[in-house]
Amino acid sequence: MNELQLSKRLEAVASNILPNSILADIGSDHAYLPCYAFLKGKISSAIAGEINDGPFRSAQEQVRKSNLAEVIEVRKGNGLEVIQPNEVDCITIAGMGGTLITSILEEGSNKLEGVSRLVLQPNIGAINIRKWLIQNNWGITSETILEEDGKIYEIIVADRGNTEKSYEDLKAGLLLGPFLLKEKNKVFIKKWTNELQHWNQIMMKLQSAESTPENNEKRKEIEEKIKIVKEVLDD
Cβ 88 vs Cβ 26: under 8 Å: no
96 and 129 fall within a common domain: yes
For residue 161, what pLDDT is reported?
Answer: 81
Is 53 found in the same domain as 158? yes
User: Helix, strand, or coil here: 96?
Assistant: strand
**Residues paired with 151 in a beta bridge:** 148
pLDDT number for residue 167? 58
Q: What residues of the chain score a pLDDT lower than 70? A: 1-4, 162-169
Per-residue model confidence (pLDDT) at position 208:
81
Beta-bridged to residue 25, according to DSSP, are 48, 92
Residues 207 and 144 in one domain: no
Which has the closest alpha carbon to 100: 81, 125, 69, 73?
125
Q: Any idea what DSSP says for residue 217?
A: H
Domain that holds residue 192: 187-234
Domain shared by 143 and 215, yes or no: no
Say if residues 154 and 121 touch (Cβ distance below 8 Å).
yes
Sequence-separated (6 or more) residues with CB below 8 Å from residue 233: 189, 192, 193, 196
Q: Say yes or no: 72 and 110 in one domain.
A: yes
Same domain, yes or no, for 221 and 115?
no
Number of domains making up the chain: 2
- What spatial distance separates the first Cα and last Cα of the chain, rounded to whole Å? 39
130 in the same domain as 19:
yes
Predicted local distance difference test score (pLDDT) of residue 165: 53
User: What pLDDT, on the 0 to 100 scale, is given for residue 212?
Assistant: 86
Specify if 180 maps to a domain.
no
Q: Is the domain of 144 the same as that of 219?
A: no
Looking at the domain assignment, is residue 173 inside a domain? no
47 part of a folded domain: yes
pLDDT value of residue 235: 80
10 Å CB burial of residue 87 (0-12, 13-18, 19+) is middle
